[in-house]
Chains A and B, each alone.
Chain A
Amino acid sequence: MEEDNIILQAVNITKKFAGVTALDNVSINVHKGKVNVIVGENGAGKSTLMKILSGVYPEYDGTLLLQGEPVNFSNPKDAMSKGIAIIHQELNLIPYLSISANIFLGREIVDPLGLLDFKKMNAITKRLLERVECNVPATTLVSSLRVGQQQQVEIAKALLEDAKVVIMDEPTSAITDAEVEVLFRIIASLKKQQVSIVYISHKLDELFLIADRFVGLRDGKMVGTIENAEQGTKDDLIRLMVGRDITNLYIKDTLPLGDEIFKVENVSLPKPSNASQFLVNNVSFSLRKGEVLGVFGLMGAGRTELLETLFGLHSERMSGSIFIDGRKVDIRSVKDAVANGMGLVPEDRKKDGLVLSMPIYKNVSMASLDQVIDNGFLNNRAENGLAKQYIADLKIKTPSQNERSKNLSGGNQQKVVLSKWLATTPKILFLDEPTRGIDVNAKNEIYHWINTLAKRGLGVLVVSSELPEIMAICDRIIVMGKSRITGEFTKNEATEDIIMNAAIL
């Protein structure tokens, strides 16, 4: 009886990358017609496991059983033809093709002459789109769809192949609340049709809305399951993920605050396409020496745009005033921002933070080359010395400063980006999602550094979408919603409820 409920089994799966064990003898079951939620921290091995289940990684040790039969997927298309579909976090549609063309990509229907049978494909697409509550014509270009709609198209694509198992990797990370509701309705209807869902998310609250059972991964090992999701509590889930109480993670000393170092008055940024709509709408706040100010908001609230605007990236469109040390400054470019003592650790360190092909030392010195220049020439020893100093200070794990940045783990890469800015001896540091995608230890070290920098008298602005994080490390929190500031709380006033209420205002 037990066997009948299990559609897909991973048995003793081990996967190594260049000597690093990503999965260590992991066995999990996917129950038929259920939402199987995989929980675990970043780096726990969730994505690796999903990539094995969906054929992205065809080589591993261990066995996959599909309805009791051993299977080996040679690629994602092979997995899909056997009924396993994956919806990646980053959607994989071709923007300048229609929905219908995307859904049938690689499986086009042709007429006897070998020409594409648009009529038939569009008709099937239309029915699929209805099933996923996507009310747009099948001929619409994907580039004109919102992210949530694109995700619906991806699900429709999975349904075309009669997927028995649909894997969803962080499906709600980039879509609106209304779209999340639709997604959950689609998941419910898939369940009714006996489709099994494997679901990965970090948003604990939403998990309880849809999960039937939980499977926990930690450091590449399966650490346990909660078979009946309704009986699990948030604490159970956190213990399953991290194996310790999350409250112990954070450290932030309460420090006496210094003078105001940074002030923003009525800063606005209109949309490039429409000057009457705003990405940042009339934002004012101030920051004192030694203060850690948190900026919380949901996806699309305008947090990253705010940082970019303050950092001189949109000087041609922005309005409002910026004061440093009480003096009005005119920041027309990133160069001006840096010259005025500002630094920005961006959200996406691989895309915006590092030159991955360059060794660590070149990344560390990048924003402050003037200090390692003698008579117009780069001083190799000074440059290496600078990097060595930060490798030691921030405990960057690397064989040497000559190691290419792309070979470092996420946490160590983040430390290199941080080093780059510390080397400029900034007065004000912006950190955009500083701990995204890095492991717990590195997280703690980053928190420790934020604390240290505050002690040194920097003003630190931290943008984060992780509530516990922002509540623990910040002295004060401003909340953004719909491009505006919708709340401001001191550390003592802040609770998850009031912050979230302000964010969804």
Chain B
Amino acid sequence: MNIKTTLIRFQSIIALLVLCIVLSFMSDKFLTPENGWNIMRQISVNVCISIGMTLVILTRGIDLSVGSILALSGAVAAGLLKYGIDVPSLNLFIGFTVFGAILGGLFVGGGLGVFNGWMITKFKVPPFVATLAMLTIARGATMLWTGGFPITGLGAHFAFIGTGWFLGIPMPVWITAILVVIAVIVTNKTKFGRYIYAIGGNESAARLSGLPINKIKIWVYTIAGILAAVGGIILTSRLDSAQPNAGFSYELDSIAAVVIGGTSLSGGRGSILGTVQGALIIGVLNSGLVLLNVSPFWQQIIKGFVILLAVILDRINHPNEE
């Protein structure tokens, strides 16, 4: 029993280790510091988004809009930084510092998250539909804001966020790691975190215990929006360019990370650290397949089967859940 439960408990880590060992035998470029940082830097955006996605899914919701919110927030930050707000007819011009532009991007992400939460709690729009609508709304807004062209040339200060190093560790990894630590503490050690699990576990019991269901849900979608914006700013900074089609289908990678990490789509069960492991598995797999020169088409197929495998294992471990 003990060996079995231990195996089940650490199945993601074990899978990750096995994957790393196998890949390091198959390619001598895999187990190098450069490749390690590379993987970490690449998954940092997905981890940012997936923290928010985990919270949303723990409440038995879903957020399909994170990819589009990422694009819009990144574009807004880039646009504010490069062009400011310029309304000649009113003789108005507001310039933005790097800090101000970032705040603007985060504000947009948070605002769209609030809107999602508001639709879901106030008008009882199912999360799938509300965030699907936001997916196209935010993407359309990104096109409007950028006119369909990338915003580039954002300067060295802004680029530091995505490409800089601090104490020998890439900045995106710092940002993501700090967010992960905060999220782990919040989910395990605070009232807010406990309420998220309670709402996902049994919303009706949570309501009858006097929990502020709507408030918690609005916050969760808001946080998901803000974290998507963080991802958008990191991505924009790393590429030195806000692409109108940035973050396309990122919501699916994010859901994949959450699911591989063992969080139940029926809510109430899962963890931030699980999601980080899920994102690592996807990142390591991507990197390994690239190093092994596997065609991108096959990469997608393999990723699909990994998701299925993860969920099948989860089913076996939790047979009695809906």
B194 adjacent to A378 (CB under 8 Å): yes
> Could you say which interface size class chain B belongs to?
20 to 34
B212 adjacent to chain A (CB < 8 Å)? yes
**8 Å CB contact of A334 from B185, B197, B202, B207:** B207
Q: Which residues of B contact A420 (CB under 8 A)?
A: 209
The answer for the CA separation of A373 and B189 in the assembled complex, in Å, is 9
**8 Å CB contact of A378 from B190, B201, B205, B210:** B190
Contact status of A358 and B190, CB under 8 A, knowing A338-B210, A344-B208: no
A351 adjacent to B204 (CB under 8 Å): yes
Q: Which of A222-230, A277-285, A362-370 contacts B (4 or more CB under 8 A)?
A: A362-370
The answer for the CA separation of A355 and B195 in the assembled complex, in Å, is 11
Binary per-residue interface labels of chain B (180-212) against chain A in the complex, 1 for a CB within 8 Å, 0 otherwise: 000001001111001001100110111111111
Q: Which residues of B contact A377 (CB under 8 A)?
A: 185, 189-190
Residue on B nearest A417 in the bound complex, by CB: B205
Q: Which residues of A contact B188 (CB under 8 A)?
A: 378
B212 adjacent to A366 (CB under 8 Å): no
Q: Which residues of B contact A334 (CB under 8 A)?
A: 207-211
Residue on B nearest A366 in the bound complex, by CB: B209
B268 adjacent to chain A (CB < 8 Å)? yes
9 extra A-B contacts, CB within 8 A, seeds A351-B205, A353-B205, A355-B202 = A334-B210, A334-B211, A346-B208, A351-B204, A352-B202, A357-B201, A357-B268, A362-B194, A377-B190
B209 adjacent to A367 (CB under 8 Å): yes
Q: Which residues of B contact A450 (CB under 8 A)?
A: none
A19 adjacent to chain B (CB < 8 Å)? no
Q: Which residues of A contact B268 (CB under 8 A)?
A: 355, 357-358
On A, residues with C-beta under 8 Å from B are 311, 313, 333-335, 337-339, 344, 346, 351-358, 362, 366-367, 369-370, 373, 376-378, 420
Q: Which residues of B contact A367 (CB under 8 A)?
A: 209-211
Q: Which residues of B contact A354 (CB under 8 A)?
A: 202, 205
**Chain A's nearest CB lies how many Å from the CB of B269?**
6
Q: Which residues of B contact A335 (CB under 8 A)?
A: 210-212
Q: How many A-B residue pairs have CB under 8 A?
A: 73
B190 adjacent to A366 (CB under 8 Å): no
The answer for the CA separation of A353 and B203 in the assembled complex, in Å, is 10
Q: Which residues of A contact B211 (CB under 8 A)?
A: 334-335, 366-367
**Chain B's nearest CB lies how many Å from the CB of A244?**
35
The answer for the CA separation of A376 and B190 in the assembled complex, in Å, is 6
**Interface CB pairs A-B, < 8 A, 18:** A334-B210, A335-B210, A337-B210, A351-B202, A352-B204, A352-B208, A353-B205, A353-B208, A354-B202, A356-B201, A358-B201, A362-B198, A366-B198, A366-B205, A369-B194, A370-B191, A378-B189, A378-B190
A355 adjacent to B206 (CB under 8 Å): yes
Q: Which residues of B contact A362 (CB under 8 A)?
A: 194, 197-198
**Chain B's nearest CB lies how many Å from the CB of A429?**
13
Residue on A nearest B191 in the bound complex, by CB: A369
Q: Which residues of A contact B209 (CB under 8 A)?
A: 334, 338, 366-367, 420
**Chain B's nearest CB lies how many Å from the CB of A378?**
5
The answer for the CA separation of A358 and B197 in the assembled complex, in Å, is 9
Q: Nearest 9 CB-CB pairs, A to B?
A: A355-B201, A338-B210, A367-B209, A355-B202, A334-B210, A377-B189, A335-B210, A366-B209, A352-B204
Q: Which residues of A contact B212 (CB under 8 A)?
A: 335
Q: Which residues of A contact B202 (CB under 8 A)?
A: 351-352, 354-357
**Chain B's nearest CB lies how many Å from the CB of A257?**
28
Complex interface residues of chain B between 267 and 286 (CB less than 8 A to chain A): 268-269
**Chain A's nearest CB lies how many Å from the CB of B204?**
5
Q: Which residues of A contact B190 (CB under 8 A)?
A: 376-378
**Chain B's nearest CB lies how many Å from the CB of A152?**
29
**Chain A's nearest CB lies how many Å from the CB of B212?**
6
Q: Which residues of A contact B198 (CB under 8 A)?
A: 355, 358, 362, 366
Q: Which residues of B contact A355 (CB under 8 A)?
A: 197-198, 201-202, 205-206, 268
Residue on B nearest A424 in the bound complex, by CB: B210
Residue on B nearest A349 in the bound complex, by CB: B205
The answer for the CA separation of A370 and B202 in the assembled complex, in Å, is 20
The answer for the CA separation of A357 and B322 in the assembled complex, in Å, is 12
Q: Which residues of B contact A373 (CB under 8 A)?
A: 191
Residue on A nearest B320 in the bound complex, by CB: A406
The answer for the CA separation of A44 and B62 in the assembled complex, in Å, is 43
Contact status of A378 and B269, CB under 8 A, knowing A334-B208, A357-B201: no
The answer for the CA separation of A362 and B211 in the assembled complex, in Å, is 14
**Chain B's nearest CB lies how many Å from the CB of A456?**
21
Residue on A nearest B268 in the bound complex, by CB: A357
The answer for the CA separation of A362 and B204 in the assembled complex, in Å, is 16
Residue on B nearest A353 in the bound complex, by CB: B205
Q: Which residues of B contact A333 (CB under 8 A)?
A: 210
Q: Which residues of B contact A358 (CB under 8 A)?
A: 197-198, 201, 268
The answer for the CA separation of A137 and B87 in the assembled complex, in Å, is 67
Q: Which residues of B contact A369 (CB under 8 A)?
A: 191, 194
**Chain A's nearest CB lies how many Å from the CB of B41?**
32
The answer for the CA separation of A333 and B209 in the assembled complex, in Å, is 11
The answer for the CA separation of A377 and B191 in the assembled complex, in Å, is 7
The answer for the CA separation of A377 and B204 in the assembled complex, in Å, is 25
The answer for the CA separation of A362 and B209 in the assembled complex, in Å, is 12
**Chain A's nearest CB lies how many Å from the CB of B317?**
13
The answer for the CA separation of A420 and B208 in the assembled complex, in Å, is 11
